[in-house]
Amino acid sequence: MFSRDSWQEIFETIRKNKLRTILSGFTVALGIFIFVILSGFGNGLQNTFKEFFVDDATNVLRIFPGRTSKPYKGFKAKRRIELENSDIEAIKINFPLFLEYITPRISRGASVKYNNKSDNYTTRAVAPSHQAAERTIITKGRFINEVDIKDKTKYAVIGRKVATDLFGGEDPMGKYLDVGKIAFKVIGVFQDAGGDNEESFIYIPYTTRQLIEKANDKVDQIIIAYKPSIGHSGAISLEKKLRLFLKKKKIIDPTDQSGIFIRNVADELKRNEDFAGVLETIVIFVAIGTLIAGIIGISNIMVFVVKERTKELGIRKALGASPKSVIAMILQESVFITLISGYFGLASGMVLLKNIGNALEEDYFIKNPYVDLSTAMISTFILIIFGAIAGYIPAKRAARIKPIIALRDE
């Protein structure tokens, strides 16, 4: 049944019935191709959503000030709330059991110059524990330390991108950068899993920033890491208590939704994971739909093919083809076509995904789309099996038709 001769017979049939071959091959190839692309895009979307958080610690709360929305105790609504150093101290004193570390952050854009190269970067004025919150990886020198905070040193820790952009091959350590017309000495270079974006920052001591800005004590936001042992529910209750505590301290209506905002990174991570999960489900759904459409397509084509060949099959039977050999011939042909075209669909889908790479990341949030080979192979395999089943039923019927009836069919 699978002799070299019967294959030769099939190759000839395939070669000489190009339209039929192309038609069924194209359906299968397209089905697999779309399946691969869709699954790849689905995975790419998920990668993007997961990536948002991989570079940060997840046991972190971020506190931002805003404007109040309700009048309270003689204050009008829309009062602008600001955080300051004393808030950090107060939190340290009042929540010692929950706290792992705490750091302020003051972000400012600045034109940064070295020799004759310059560009705009964002400086982040922070405390030493910021390193842990952002998971900043020091590759050279050191991060901001407590002495820097105390002495308000003009030291800067620069990202890898800043270093390559401004210094090229030169070692930035110990060199002086012009940051918004003030000279900062580079004491460290860092990397971050967040990539170029994160590596374009410049860290300086927050006290230095406050000194530059007319010796105030304001901070943009406070980042708190809680002890992981308090768990998710502990984090939620900490968030609640912190909000109340700060509202009281800043004299804000406890029922005011604005004024103080707290973002829980773990919560956001979970929300995003849920969202990614929903996306995945949708993508799987659509991909399976494509596969089913492909199966229906190949089934239709097989029915059509067998119908078209009824007379030929009648001739073959009159010349001595057994029913089994008729079925085998049709099946072998359909499996061969689905196999080859399935492989083409698979390969071209994979190649396209590879070429797309991260090109769609900016606009469509599709990062590094891929399908694992086994998923793709299994789906190709399913299509082949169903193609074979789809071919088997009409082939069997055709094999049963009496040759005279098939021959009369004009």
Partner 1 sequence: MINLKSLHKSYKTGATSLHVLKGINLDIEKGELVAIMGSSGSGKSTLLNILGMLDVADEGSYYLDDVLIENLNEKKAAKYRNLFLGFVFQSFNLINYKNALENVALPLYYQGMSRKERQKQAMEYLDSVSLKPWATHLPSELSGGQKQRVAIARAMASKPKVLLADEPTGALDSTTSYEIMGLIQKINNEGKTILVVTHEDDIAKMCKRIVKLKDGVIVEDKKIKQIIVK
Positions that interact with partner 1 (CB under 8 A): 5, 8-9, 12-13, 16-17, 311-312, 314-325, 399-400, 402-404, 407, 410
Q: Which helix (H) or strand (E) holds 302?
A: helix 265-308
Residue 13 or 131: the one with the smaller Cβ distance to partner 1 is 13
Handedness of CA 29, 32, 35, 36 (dihedral sign): negative
Q: How far is the CB of 304 from partner 1 (least distance, A)?
A: 16
Q: Pick the closer one to partner 1 by CB: 112 or 329.
A: 329
Residues β-bridged to residue 153: none
Q: For tokens 């990886």, what's the residue?
A: 137
Find out whether 158 and 167 touch, Cβ atoms under 8 Å.
Answer: no
Residue 3 CB, nearest approach to partner 1 (Å): 9
How far is the C-alpha of 60 from the C-alpha of 377, rounded, in Å? 42
> Kind and range of the H or E element at 201?
strand 201-205
To partner 1, the closest distance from the beta carbon of 311 in angstroms equals 8
Q: Which is nearer to partner 1, 227 or 311 (CB)?
A: 311
**β-pair partners for 84:** 218
Q: What angle do CA 272, 379, 397 make, to 5 degrees?
A: 145
CB of 404 to partner 1, least distance (A): 4
Task: Compute the least distance from the CB of residue 319 to partner 1, in Å.
Answer: 4
> Which segments of 62-191 does DSSP mark as H helices, in order?
85-94, 130-134, 146-151, 160-167
Of 66 and 403, CB closest to partner 1: 403
**β-strand partners of 324:** none
CB of 393 to partner 1, least distance (A): 17
Q: Cα Rg for the chain, rounded, in angstroms?
A: 34
Calpha distance 314→308 (Å, rounded): 11
Question: What is the spatial distance between Cα 251 and Cα 244, in angstroms, rounded to a whole number?
Answer: 10
**Least distance from partner 1 to the Cβ atom of residue 407, Å:** 6
Q: Whose Cβ is closer to partner 1: residue 17's or residue 85's?
A: 17
| Sign of the CA dihedral with 35 first, then 36, 39, and 41 last | negative
We find the least distance from the C-beta atom of residue 25 to partner 1, in angstroms, to be 17
* Identity of the residue, 376 or 399, whose beta carbon is nearer to partner 1 in the bound complex: 399
Distance CA 17, CA 337 (A): 12
C-alpha–C-alpha distance, residues 72 and 134, integer Å? 36
- Measured from the CB atom, the residue of 313 and 350 that comes closer to partner 1 is 313
Shortest distance, CB of residue 328 to partner 1, whole angstroms? 12
Residue 15 or 181 having the CB closest to partner 1: 15
Encoded tokens for 261: 């905002």
Of the pair 13, 129, the CB lying nearest partner 1 is at 13
Burial bucket for residue 78 (CB in 10 Å: 0-12, 13-18, 19+): exposed
